[in-house]
Amino acid sequence: MLRTRFDRRTILKAAAGGTLLLLSGKPFPSVASVGTASPAPEGRLSLFHTHTGERLSVAYRNGSGEYRPEAVSSLNHFLRCHYNQQVTEMDLRMVDFLHAVDLSLGGQNEIHIISGFRSPEYNEKLHREGRGVARSSYHLLGKAIDFRIPGKSLAALRDAALRLREGGVGYYPGAGFVHIDSGRFRTW
């Protein structure tokens, strides 16, 4: 379900974007792309999953800003729980957040995924092992990703995500990743 935030910042961004679209003569993007962190209509990601060894290069949103169902399905499968192969629908706001972080760092980076969706069984296992995971983690809802980008410092990733102020940003230099999620803006 699409949930749009109606705060001052979102309204100003939408008004500015609408004005630019009107002046450009281009058609409006789909409702699904409104209010996302991504500054570009097209959404393209290059991903490597550190647990499965899989790679995915995908344009999940076309140049008109519309999500491509087959590409979104590929993303859902790629970001599945690597522990038991369970798949869920990933929150596209979080995917757009990841895309915006990538773009702010030059774009077209290969993003290394440490964790996307986590099944309840896997999350509970990690919790029992004392791995520091939250019992009610956003990973359980398909609303979080832990990642790194080779050649970019974790501090640069964290700072890029913080500048966007689109959701939660966790910094884990000891574990070698940054966490982002599509919850409210907060940091740790």
Domain boundaries, the chain: 37-187
As given in the structure block, the two tokens for residue 79 are: 């970001």
**CB burial string 14-27: b at 16+ within 10 A, e below:** eeebeeeeeeeeee
pLDDT at residue 25, as a whole number: 46
C-alpha torsion 50→105→93→69, nearest 10:
-70
Chunked into runs of 10 residues, the chain (188 residues) has average pLDDT values of 44 47 42 47 96 98 95 98 98 97 97 98 93 90 98 98 98 98 97
C-alpha torsion 38→42→48→49, nearest 10:
60
At 16, the amino acid letter reads A
CB of 96 within 8 A of CB of 38?
Answer: yes
pLDDT at residue 70, as a whole number: 98
pLDDT at residue 183, as a whole number: 97
CATH class of the region 37-187: alpha beta
Nearest to 119 by CA among 95, 93, 89, 140: 140
pLDDT at residue 136, as a whole number: 87
pLDDT at residue 39, as a whole number: 52
DSSP letters spanning the chain:
------SHHHHHHHHHHHHHHHHHTPPPPPGGGTT-S-SSSSEEEEEEETTT--EEEEEEE-TTS-B-HHHHHHHHHHTS-TTT----PPPHHHHHHHHHHHHHTTS-PEEEEEES---HHHHHHHHHTT----TT-GGGGT-EEEEE-TTS-HHHHHHHHHHHT-SEEEEETTTTEEEEESSSSEE-
